[in-house]
Structure 1
Amino acid sequence: MKATLLTVLLGLLTAVGLRAQNPIIRDVFTADPAPLVYHDTLFLYTGHDTASVQETNYKMPDWRVYSTTDMVHWKDYGTRLSVRTFAWATGDAYAAQCVYRNGKFYWFVATFQRNADPNNKAGNRGAAIGVAVSARPTGPFRDAIGKPLISNDMTLDQKHGWDDIDPTVFIDDDKQAYLYWGNGSCRWMKLKDNMTELAGPITVFRPKNYIEGPWVYKRKKLYYLVYASAGTKPEMIGYCTAPTATGPWTYQGIIQGNVPNSGTTHPGIVDYKGKSYFFYHNGSLPSGGNFRRSVCVDYMYYNPDGTIKPIVQTTQGVAPVK
């Protein structure tokens, strides 16, 4: 009897110990998570914060890749893409997302053009969106087109030069791919089948309280636009829904409040092995903060009408899956 009870207790302790602890990446500072499910594996693409404790601005030199098959144990592939990969680029590695299509992986990134002045909208100056490509989810990646896909002179509705950031790509059921991005306003346009050319005009819209960091996906018959929105720090996560990938978008409210020790947060949403997951970042690691952020993941749940239930931020993280 005692042996049986001890076995049960040890089993429970083991199960508890297997839960992923938030933040899930604890040896380096990571931000702006973008999950991708490929076959049986969830790949996670992140930014990389390297600012010192004393620094008062971002220092983000590259992007990293991780993977898991159980949501608890994460394999670290290290840096897999850098601003230096793009001969036309300079500055920081802002939020990015990798998507799979036609046997290739396309990593859409935001950075700045070389010799750019972020306060000057003239010419091609300011933030820009590039795309890298690889035959494998972990690379090696190369610049797919040798120039920005979106340059700052293509978007003139915002006066600041860092408005062309945070790309996200959604591929609809009819195989049409859409690119969404933007700080201050949200933009979208169609992509050609090769994922490296634009296929139409840029449409600009402003969801309620929108700041940056859009993430677009479809669940059943409903389309979701989730984004970093105005809040109290200032960023919380709000969202809209629509009957199509291009709108019209209906504001549905806030689903995630402020995160610990960081004024920014960034959504990344995916279904994996029967559950829905919400990735984000906070500044809760020791010596963490606004410029030293860390990726977390918690469960995501829906109401019967398709609206999203508020995200419960936890420190114990999610349970393992097989």
Structure 2
Amino acid sequence: MGRRWVALALAAAMTMGGAAAANEAPAPGSNPIIRDKFTADPAPLVVGDKLFLYVGHDEAQRDEMFNMREWLVYSTTDMKTWTAHPPIMKVTDFKWAKKDAWASQAIQKNGKFYFYAAVEHDSTHPGKAIGVAVSDKPTGPFVDARGSALITNEMTPKGTHSWEDIDPTVFTDDDGTTWIAWGNRQAYIAKLKPNMIEIDGPITEITPPHFEEGPWLHKRGGLYYLTYASLDRSTQRDEHVSYATAPSIQGPWTYRGLLTGSGKYSFTIHPGIVAFKGDWYIFLHNADLAIGDQSGAIGRRAVTVERLRYNPDGTMQPVVQTKAGVSAPAN
């Protein structure tokens, strides 16, 4: 009997140990990085020694595809612990918009923070549109800077559908000029006036191969990068991430191929790239998160992050999406 009780005790201990291991908190910096809400379309911004991450808030219930009513922001100083801040803005704060707090990006300029976001315009300008809001702080609150849309569907008449004017990315070049790019199926770029709330000059189409949505502009050294959600409809079911490079923000753009595969369980993916404290990072999203009885889905996504590395010629090394994320030691 003694040996049998010892064996049972050992078995119980092993079972309890396994349960404890399964329930223990994930390592700081592992993916997904936000676990109490469904978040999507990450857009990083570095201010001093902090990185601020702007995201959309997925609130889809049951079989809903998307239900997004507000934008959130989180901050970190070490890429492993994240501080939640109050919602920075609701879609209803754009009085001319009726729904869909879709992808966004914030940028600092002229001592203020400007926030560009995709929404659904009301019936006065049907289709998707891009608004701009402003704040004195990166954590907001942000207020509509114009009282009207910066970009509407009528401004891109060659587009093939009403939701092409989404997913803004903003970038300030070395000469102080700020550019905005955006699009779905068609990719566009335009210069912003110094006031940051008006387009300055023509809108140019720059659609690279397999472009789907979610463009992101950045620069490293003398090379400009246009990274985006791509979809080769002949071979792929879900979006991947591809990129192109150019010697100037105005091109010509050279297609460089795939950067990442698709996000786990997710049709969409959305890159956001930034340098922070000596390292480069790429933020993405997948649908590999469950909260309570809600599992990940097309309308319930989760933001992730991975380290980003470059080759000597400036091309980016392929990124493998992992659960460890930046909790794993850097190579």
TM-score (norm 1): 0.90
Q: Alignment partner of 2:322: what SS?
A: coil
Other-structure match for 1:303: 311
CA offsets 1:256-313 (integer angstroms, 9 cap, x no match): 0011110110000001011110100000012011110000001100111000000021
Other-structure match for 2:7: none
- Does 2:95 match 1:87? yes
AA aligned to 1:163 is E
Which structure 2 residues correspond to residues 1-322 of structure 1 after superposition, within 5 A? Answer: 18-55=27-64, 57-115=65-123, 124-231=125-232, 232-286=236-290, 287-319=295-327
Q: Quick one: distance in 2 between partners of 1:301 and 1:62?
A: 32
Going from structure 1 to structure 2, the CA distance change for 1:222 and 1:87 (only over 3 Å counts) comes to same
The answer on whether the counterparts of 2:28 and 2:81 sit within 8 Å (CA) in structure 1 is no
Percent identity between the two aligned chains:
51
Q: Alignment partner of 2:303: what SS?
A: strand
Q: Alignment partner of 2:85: what SS?
A: strand
The answer on whether the counterparts of 1:19 and 1:320 sit within 8 Å (CA) in structure 2 is no
Deviation at 1:18, TM superposition (A): 4.8
Q: Alignment partner of 1:153: what SS?
A: helix
The answer on whether the counterparts of 1:110 and 1:130 sit within 8 Å (CA) in structure 2 is yes
AA aligned to 2:308 is M
Instruction: Give 1 or 2 for the bigger CA radius of gyration.
Output: 2
Q: Quick one: distance in 2 between partners of 1:294 and 1:211?
A: 20
Deviation at 1:52, TM superposition (A): 1.1
Instruction: Give the CA RMSD over aligned residues.
Output: 1.5
Point out 4+ residue stretches in structure 1 off by more than 2 angstroms.
16-19
The answer on whether the counterparts of 1:129 and 1:164 sit within 8 Å (CA) in structure 2 is yes
Which consecutive unaligned segments of at least 5 residues does structure 1 have?
Answer: 1-15, 117-123
Deviation at 1:198, TM superposition (A): 1.1
Q: Quick one: distance in 2 between partners of 1:130 and 1:144?
A: 8
Q: Quick one: distance in 1 between partners of 2:199 and 2:258?
A: 32
AA aligned to 1:64 is L
CA offsets 1:47-87 (integer angstroms, 9 cap, x no match): 010001332x2111111000000111100013111111111
